[in-house]
Structure 1
């Protein structure tokens, strides 16, 4: 019995042989349980196809319906942060659910637009708790800075494009989450992957109808099918590959 306890104690303190790539985000990174329910797939569920599993582990903690704010206030971030070790990696992609009401009885998940330091105090109509709500950039910067403090290499992704067209092209907005994600990456010295533009490039060539047919579910123009998830995952991998100062590149196939 004592021998068994000794062996277990040794295993508990054995350092990891491989780093871990952590993913956090919303349903466009992991839809449902990540197994294609209702034909919906997030790119985080298929990104492993681009990595050498002998060199890195991947843990996808993205969850549907969360914004950069509610992923934190739900208590999901702290356990992940505790697990992280020097030499690990983190990819963050939020934005879709941040564009929501800050306080209502439906979701109450919105953040203040932009990357400023302004805040607003609310009595949350869902949680019934007093809460200070910050900007999208504030929450994103918190994730980046806290992970980097542990020696983790961080990538910020701009949100995936939806199948929403304007004047024959995917709709872009100057003051919107892709821009703010880039600014967060620049301000925190994190890596940036412009996933929004990388995938929109392909959508632009196809147009609304063909993009819908090839890459999206019948349900809506937000959630991708398996082919759409694979396209976004491939573009994330391209973004990593093109980040010359990243150690994560070495784990790509």
Structure 2
């Protein structure tokens, strides 16, 4: 269906703009993948448009259309709700994902498809169901779609580096571990949603290593590996390709070198990947090269809260890590869905943070993400 944006109207239960600051356009849809086609351009001047979907998922980055011209842009957006298929009578399980307070009412879990337009509005938006493969993201706060500036994670930047024939379904959430992702029925939601031919990227570790969280702690040399193997087996049973991702390091220095805080968990991921013959993207090693390339004085420019946060990233840091993930995917069979210009990237030579530009979303929140 095509929506004319030249005469904006408030959301009326079917389509329209959300109240409050920003330009957020929502359409009521069933859960699934949707192909979005934008028509952009004006007769009287050049236009520049950035588009984010749902909770700040980057879809289109600063597309400029010259004056007097029209251009279309296409991408795929995944939508979901928390509801699960009810288990049979007397069977264990639940009827919905156990969302955290911050997730209640968020764009990530509602019954709408929401697009945030930054810069110039398109003339029109066309929305149609899309039968395409999906990349599912399972992880913690360094992967999730952070809902508000200034925090950001690599999972919400990844769609911008993919071709418009694949979806990204980001099920990661702040504070999660391999155990809690199960007990909160998030893994059930993933398993209910996947189809043969899909791909799942799995990155946990930041919170699993916390022995002071006794209900979710998983030792790197034993239970952590067992849980990873279980995830791999359940996904493969459904025809899904699991790809393991080592966790990005924290910004802890020993002189001008990063002091490892996740090395045993990164080693466990690599060992399980080798034993299970599963692909692995070593984001841990890449993040170390990235931070050390910037050095102690400039590395804070890649992190949340002006660098006060040494775990979570800002838009620049998340964008660089997403480039690493895209380049890693490009080496695998799924790589045909990575844009040609984004298939190679050296984290030891990142773009300068001082010159990085990404249009900021209207939502802002100084709250530190869970799991810090």
Compute the TM-score of the two structures, normalised by the length of structure 2: 0.53
- Partner SS, residue 137 of structure 2: strand
Residue 70 in structure 1 maps to residue 180 in structure 2:
yes
Alignment of structure 1 residues 191-210 onto 2, 5 Å: 191-210=279-298
- Note the C-alpha offset of 1:137: 0.9
Partner of 1:142: 230
Name the structure 2 match of 1:50: 161
Higher helix content, 1 or 2: 1
Residue 60 of structure 1: which of 170, 181, 190 is its match? Answer: 170
Aligned pairs (5 A) from 1:95-114:
95-101=205-211, 104=214, 108-114=215-221
- Alignment partner of 2:142 out of 28, 33, 43: 28
Residue 248 of structure 1 corresponds to 334
Q: CA separation in 1, counterparts of 2:325 and 2:262?
A: 22
Larger displacement relative to structure 2 (208-217 or 222-231): 208-217
Residue aligning to 2:326 = 237
Structure 1 segments of 4+ aligned residues over 2 angstroms from their partners:
101-104, 172-175, 213-219
TM-score normalized by structure 1? 0.77
Unaligned runs of 5+ in 2: 1-128, 340-372
CA RMSD of aligned residues (A): 2.0
Report the CA distance shift for 1:175/1:201 in structure 2 as closer, same or farther (over 3 A).
closer
Q: Which has the higher strand share?
A: 2
Alignment deviations for residues 4-28 of structure 1 (CA, whole Å, 9 cap, x no partner)? xxxxxxxxxxx97211110010000
Task: Tell me the SS of whatever aligns to 2:220.
Answer: coil
Secondary structure (helix, strand or coil) at the match of 1:69 reads helix
Summarize deviations over 1:175-219 as a string: whole Å, max 9, x none. Answer: 511111111111221110001111211211222221012444334
Change (3 A) 1:228 1:109: same
- Contact kept in structure 2, 1:164 and 1:208, CA below 8 Å: no
- Distance verdict in 2 for CA 1:185–1:16, change over 3 Å: farther
Deviation at 1:75, TM superposition (A): 1.4
Q: Distance in 2 between matches of 1:76 and 1:249?
A: 26
State the distance in 2 between where 1:213 and 1:52 align. 29
**In terms of Rg, which structure is larger?**
2
Q: In structure 1, the residue corresponding to 2:295 is in which secondary structure? A: helix
